[in-house]
């Protein structure tokens, strides 16, 4: 993206040193936004922020963040707000991948997915939502998944966390819109390119798209219908499964 369509927007991104979070930061920077990256790997986060600022210009800061600790999450957003002079967008991009089949997965592995993929998204959405409602505007973007709509064999707990994120996003989208806060849930297809997911996230913010947005493997994205049965058919059709 080359047009500065989001010039001056202030964006905090969790999981910002890796994968989708990192690509999302690049996409927002290209659109002219100021960025605060948060990640558990503090050294890498700061190095990525410095590299992005040096190569692309603009304000990019790297901050320590443990999304599973609500106090540290609150501190991250407060520091991001101070560094950027406010916040307009929070992207909950931190993600714990599935580790194996349900029966072989350890309790600790399951807990880690639940903590990162669900509890942290609830925490981030609540902290951002309170801040945005108070200021009268803001945009929360959460990362769901195709398996949060259709489920996936061999990734039961991961699917469960993403189903919960989709449900959370639907409820928040309906409940916060009248208070000036948009909530988008991005549902990437199977094995999507991080760049395509990042483009969908930035597109949601640019065009103020709330609700569930599906991203098939080929990268086209659209806002899905809120009706659950039609939603599932839409997802399956876009993924080429019907």
Give residues with Cβ within 8 angstroms of 145, minimum separation 6: 158, 159, 162, 165, 187, 188
Helix (H, G, I), strand (E, B) or coil at 74: helix
Residue 101 burial (C-beta neighbours within 10 Å; 0-12, 13-18, 19+):
exposed
- Taking alpha carbons only, the member of 73, 63, 88 closest to residue 121 is 73
Q: Is 119 left (phi over 0), alpha (psi -120 to 50) or beta?
A: alpha
Tokens at 201, concatenated:
């996230």
End-to-end CA distance of the chain: 32
SS3 readout for 37-71: EEECCHHHHHHHHHHHHHHHCCCEEEEECCCCCHH
158 has catalytic annotation: yes
Instruction: Tell me how far apart the alpha carbons of residues 10 and 82 are, in angstroms, rounded to a whole number.
Output: 11
In angstroms, rounded to a whole number, what is the distance separating the alpha carbons of residues 239 and 222? 12
Query: Looking at 52, 73, 158, 221, which residue is catalytic?
Result: 158
Asked whether the beta carbons of 201 and 138 are under 8 A apart, the reply is no
Active site residues: 158
């Amino acid at each position: 993206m080359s047009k500065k369509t989001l010039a001056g927007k202030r964006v905090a991104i969790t999981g910002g040193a890796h994968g989708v979070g990192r690509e999302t930061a690049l996409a927002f920077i290209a659109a002219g936004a100021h960025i605060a990256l948060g990640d558990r790997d503090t050294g890498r986060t700061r190095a990525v922020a410095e590299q992005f600022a040096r190569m692309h210009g603009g304000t990019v800061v790297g901050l320590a963040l443990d999304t599973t600790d609500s106090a540290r999450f609150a501190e991250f957003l407060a520091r991001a707000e101070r560094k950027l002079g406010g916040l307009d967008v929070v992207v909950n991009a931190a993600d714990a991948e599935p580790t194996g089949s349900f029966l072989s997965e350890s309790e600790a592995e399951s807990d880690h997915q639940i903590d990162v993929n669900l509890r942290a998204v609830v925490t981030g959405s609540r902290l951002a939502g309170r801040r945005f409602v108070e200021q009268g505007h803001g945009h929360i973007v959460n990362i769901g998944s195709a398996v949060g709509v259709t489920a996936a064999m061999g990734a039961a707990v991961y699917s469960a966390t993403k189903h919960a994120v989709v449900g959370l996003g639907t409820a928040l989208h309906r409940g916060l819109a009248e208070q000036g806060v948009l909530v988008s849930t991005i549902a990437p297809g199977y094995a999507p390119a991080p760049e395509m997911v990042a483009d969908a996230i930035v597109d949601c913010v640019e065009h103020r798209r709330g609700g569930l947005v599906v991203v098939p493997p080929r990268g086209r994205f659209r806002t899905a219908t809120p009706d659950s049965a039609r939603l599932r058919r839409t997802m399956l059709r876009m993924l080429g499964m019907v």
